[in-house]
């Protein structure tokens, strides 16, 4: 990233009065969210409240109908070049990993740097190995996703995203499909990323993670941001009744 681009905006993600409908269903209502470079945001809320839809709008996996979204100062429009530019700066990690099953771990990590960034294979492989080391899975580089545990696959998915040097990482419930013993190995990698200063927006109900790394926790219900605060006041002194009820449900067991 050039110095000019770095200075262009201190705000990594801007969502101003974003609204989205699925047919008649108003799924996002006047979403106003600004995320600074280096900020870590946790998004929580009941099932169906619009959390996935919100983060998927940021890289145009879903299209919003009203309001403005910018990433790194670049306004998201219908223009395909803009959409591609934004997608190059946004990494995304999904609940179900979404690795290519017919490609090895190494190939999964090399494919975008080679095809999108036109890196030579040797360079892409060296980069991939560097990130696979970082998520502690380099020794599995030649395996296929189906030969790995869920936690290992998710770490590969994180490494694959990092190979594109994203400016912001979106996580959509990255640990919710994992067995308990694998959750920690993925969260550990996410905590390290956060500590290194990555801008992150994480949909998760891992409240320990939220308390450790989040700068801000956002609670959504029925397509709206109901409440947002730093973790300490968010958990200890939630303002709205809906937040209180939600927290009592998820922290109650």
Nearer to ligand ATP among residue 53 and residue 59 (C-beta): 53
CA distance 75 to 68: 7
* The token pair that represents 185 in the structure block: 């190995």
CA distance 166 to 161: 7
Shortest Å, Cβ 173 to Mg ion: 6
CA distance 69 to 171: 18
Nearer to Mg ion among residue 52 and residue 243 (C-beta): 52
Shortest Å, Cβ 199 to ligand ATP: 20
Which DSSP string do the residues of 65-87 spell out, in sequence order?
A: SEEEEEETTEE--S-HHHHHHHH
Choose one: 5-13, 19-27, 151-159, 236-244; the region binding ligand ATP (CB under 6 A): 19-27
CA distance 69 to 112: 25
Nearer to Mg ion among residue 52 and residue 229 (C-beta): 52
Asked whether position 59 contacts Mg ion by CB under 5 A, the answer is no
Show Cβ contacts of residue 194 under 8 Å, excluding neighbours closer than 6 positions.
Answer: 40, 200, 213
Asked whether position 154 contacts Mg ion by CB under 5 A, the answer is no
CA distance 165 to 158: 11
> Do 186 and 198 form a contact (C-beta atoms < 8 A)?
no
Q: Compose the 41-80 pattern: x for residues touching ligand ATP by CB under 6 A, - for all others.
A: ----x-xxxxxxx---------------------------
> Do 219 and 241 form a contact (C-beta atoms < 8 A)?
no
Choose one: 49-57, 121-129, 141-149, 178-186; the region binding Mg ion (CB under 5 A): 49-57
Shortest Å, Cβ 22 to ligand ATP: 3
Partner whose footprint covers residue 32, from Mg ion, ligand ATP, none (CB < 5 to 8 Å by kind)? none
Nearer to Mg ion among residue 52 and residue 104 (C-beta): 52
> Do 124 and 80 form a contact (C-beta atoms < 8 A)?
no
Using CB under 5 A, pick the residue from 12, 43, 52, 132 that binds Mg ion.
52
**E strand spans, 102-191:** 168-172
Nearer to ligand ATP among residue 48 and residue 208 (C-beta): 48
Partner whose footprint covers residue 154, from Mg ion, ligand ATP, none (CB < 5 to 8 Å by kind)? none
Shortest Å, Cβ 55 to Mg ion: 9
Q: How far is CA 65 from CA 27, 69, 71, 74, in A?
A: 11, 11, 17, 18
Shortest Å, Cβ 56 to Mg ion: 9
Residue ranges that bind ligand ATP, judged by CB under 6 A: 22, 25, 27, 45, 47-53
């Amino acid at each position: 990233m050039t110095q000019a681009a770095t200075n262009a905006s201190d705000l990594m993600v801007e969502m101003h009065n974003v609204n989205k409908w699925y047919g008649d269903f108003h799924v996002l209502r006047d979403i106003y969210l600004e995320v600074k470079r280096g900020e870590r945001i946790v998004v929580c809320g009941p099932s169906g409240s619009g959390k996935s839809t919100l983060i998927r709008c940021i890289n145009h996996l879903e299209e919003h109908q009203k309001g403005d979204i910018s990433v790194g100062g670049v306004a998201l429009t219908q223009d395909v070049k803009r959409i591609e530019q934004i997608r190059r700066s946004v990494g995304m990690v999904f609940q179900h990993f979404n690795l290519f099953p017919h490609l090895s771990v190494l190939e999964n990590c090399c494919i975008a740097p080679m095809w999108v960034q036109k890196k030579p294979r040797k360079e892409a492989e060296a980069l991939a190995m560097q990130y696979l080391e970082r998520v502690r899975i380099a020794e599995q580089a030649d395996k296929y996703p189906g030969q790995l545990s869920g936690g290992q696959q998710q770490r590969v998915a994180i490494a694959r995203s990092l190979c594109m040097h994203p400016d912001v990482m979106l996580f959509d419930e990255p640990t919710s499909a994992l067995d308990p013993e694998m959750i920690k190995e993925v969260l550990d990698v996410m905590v390290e990323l956060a500590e290194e200063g990555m801008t992150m927006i994480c949909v998760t109900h891992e409240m320990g993670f939220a308390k450790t790394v989040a700068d801000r926790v956002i609670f959504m219900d029925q397509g709206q941001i109901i409440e947002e605060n730093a973790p300490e006041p968010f958990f200890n002194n939630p303002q709205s009744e809906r937040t209180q009820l939600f927290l009592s449900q998820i922290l109650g067991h």
